Amino acid sequence: MKSSQRLVIIVEGLLYLALAFLIQLIFPAVISEWGIALRIGYTLLIYYAFRRGNFAGSFAGLLLGAVSCIGLDNPADHIGQIIGMIIASGCLGIAGLFARNLQRTLHNRRMGSAYLNLVTGTILAWLAYFLVRFLTYEYLVSDLSLTTQVNFQQNALSALVNIVLSLIILIVIMNVSAKNFIPKNTPYISRRERSRLLNDD
């Protein structure tokens, strides 16, 4: 990969990271008495992972997790929570494992397979995120008021809500402009195939 392409990927990742962070500031972190964690902004990282792959997506997630910890009071007293938040956010990059298949199926206009990759990657990414979050609050955070049952219920409901919201957003993006999922210099499509894609524009 050329240094210029690597720079584009980094800048793009930082842009999505900043937008995700700003969106999280706008929306409440937790909604309802059920303690549902709302992470709408994190959908941008899943989208970024679908564009750039799991490594770039995971790295951006780790950075967002670290940035999200800035507002914690007395960080030294929340080391376990900080570690858990960073790891959980990094797990969103799992969606990038489906980047190659998603982009190739979109390029070849096999929309059924493209939707399957999108849905599977999104679900697995969020399940991994909230599994780590559950384990973090179960073993690394000292909160006697949070029982295992309540912890599980909150994270299960949160996973469901965020999966549904992310899928709605990502499917709308795919329906409006599927080509946005395919970067100009993607490594998942050969130069010959890319030239055909440009000719189709």
Q: Express each pLDDT in 21-77 by its tens digit.
A: 999 999 888 887 788 999 999 999 999 999 999 999 999 999 999 998 887 777 777
Q: How far, in Å, are 16, 55, 80, 96 from residue 52 at the CA level?
A: 12, 8, 30, 7
Q: Check pLDDT > 70 for residue 196.
A: no
Per the DSSP assignment, residues forming a β-bridge with 37 are 30
Q: Express each pLDDT in 150-186 by its tens digit.
A: 999 999 999 999 999 999 999 999 999 999 999 988 9
Percentages helix, strand, coil for the chain, rounded to the nearest 5?
80, 0, 20
Per the DSSP assignment, residues forming a β-bridge with 30 are 37
41: its two tokens: 């902004």
Confidence grade of residue 144 (pLDDT, cut at 50, 70, 90): low
Q: How many angstroms separate the CA atoms of 162 and 38, rounded? A: 7
Burial degree of 93 (CB within 10 A; 0-12, 13-18, 19+): buried
Q: Check pLDDT > 70 for residue 97.
A: yes
Per-residue burial over 110-139, b = 16 or more CB atoms within 10 Å of its CB, e = otherwise: eeeebbebbbebbbbbbbbbbebbbebbbe
Between 63 and 5, residue with greater pLDDT: 63
Prediction pTM value: 0.91
Q: Which domains does the chain have, with CATH numbers?
A: 3-25+36-200 (1.10.1760.20)
Q: What is the pLDDT of residue 146?
A: 83
Q: What is the pLDDT of residue 1?
A: 63
Q: Express each pLDDT in 124-137 by its tens digit.
A: 999 999 999 999 99
CA 191 from chain centre, in angstroms, equals: 28
Confidence grade of residue 120 (pLDDT, cut at 50, 70, 90): very high
- Nearest Cα to 159, choosing from 118, 110, 125, 198? 125
Q: Express each pLDDT in 70-93 by its tens digit.
A: 877 777 777 888 999 999 999 999
